[in-house]
Structure 1
């Protein structure tokens, strides 16, 4: 698989974006070549084509809305998908409904020391929170770690790096009043020879509704945990379902009931049955580049592509 196959529209732009975002287009090297200027111009044209929105943002397909606080912005679905594929070099994902940014300046998308939240919606039905108060998250973490470790030999066999779930970067918290859940995982990748490929912070938010849940997945460097931890409660407050579609509006006589509860949602929702990370979209940050992947094995593939690009 070649980079051009992954990024047919803006292969040249992608090459710039894969460089350290803090110094796009050779800014630190002093490169004033025509190609460097072209890269910068394409990058600026791309950022200028994005439609950042502020204020009250409807998420029609989820029957939900975001009431953005001052200083935050939202990229609608089409632009968010373009950023993920054309700017950050990820595989297409038509389920992405948008992206929350901690700025109204699109250049924040180039800042590797910041966060971004990708918004999706899962219509699996009403997720019962009956088990919420009974969950032993320390025990759940051990099971998740064991499941991850047991699947690593197959990843390595296929040529992909192993995944270590190091622990909770933020233990799971469930607010029974607002029916909102959040937690963060500290993940590390290792090559077959044991070489450490770095750590990433995967911060997850789930907003439960009548017919499913909003999934907000934030990524940031692990050293930015403090900043993410401070900002995420505000992101939680900005997100809710519309009247009639909220958790309290559930009708047991007519509405679908999800086949899993809070514990399985933390462990990977329905994907827990197929193995941790098997079907759950996982957001990672590696080599100062945002990566969104559908299965853990794909992480190795894209790391190889990124390293190949870096070596050129």
Structure 2
């Protein structure tokens, strides 16, 4: 009895809405048993699945039955105050609730950055745009270019892009929310596997509905991941267009700087427009080598997590 009472108290403390869900199950159970069809209008599939998962509902003869009805009622009678307290806690930590995953919205600044970013892509194939962005960006870099060789300038740009990319990901992407989504999907898969092993068709139907609801969260996940990417591209595309402009990449393009050869690891001495790895040219290989190295150092040095981790 104590174990069941503890399970019910835990469910209610984690989610205040589970109290009404348990009360509905108690009210709808006939001869000690209840089926999904009896409560589907008042319970979500997620709530039904959690009751099964926690062992509050167990297999019956024709449906499910409460593992211990008296313990369940006792838990509800003693959980009123704790449920009220947990409601405020839940509201203050709503960012980690899987049901809130789709709540991320883009501000007008996010949308403006996305629009400008799409426009900047034209610079890769349209020379006037490339010359405009490259020439403007060159004015900002002129003090650096006058004191450092070109390969060192690219290293500085790689360091800068690695730094702001890491900071943007850390600050614009809600890792708790993404981790909660992953944890929810993992939990659904485990319960689905257990239900298949038991041959529990009612539980499988409920879990299937919950899984379909969770699939809708993928839009929220995409928005969560793409938002920092928009700002990263907004700041990084001008850097690439400047390198295109400076090195002379593209049809009928001319280099705006006299560049010396560079020695790449495992490749040897190459000119900036030579092919280094397959069709990939030396300038972009050098940039990515520097960027990846600096990004790893920045993440380790600042102890920044840029990938979600399910708890």
TM-score normalised by structure 1 residue count = 0.20
Structure with the largest fraction of strand: 1
Identify the structure with bigger relative contact order (alpha carbons < 8 Å, sequence gap 6+): 2
Name the structure with the higher helix share.
2
Structure index of larger Rg: 2
TM-score, normalised to structure 2's length? 0.20
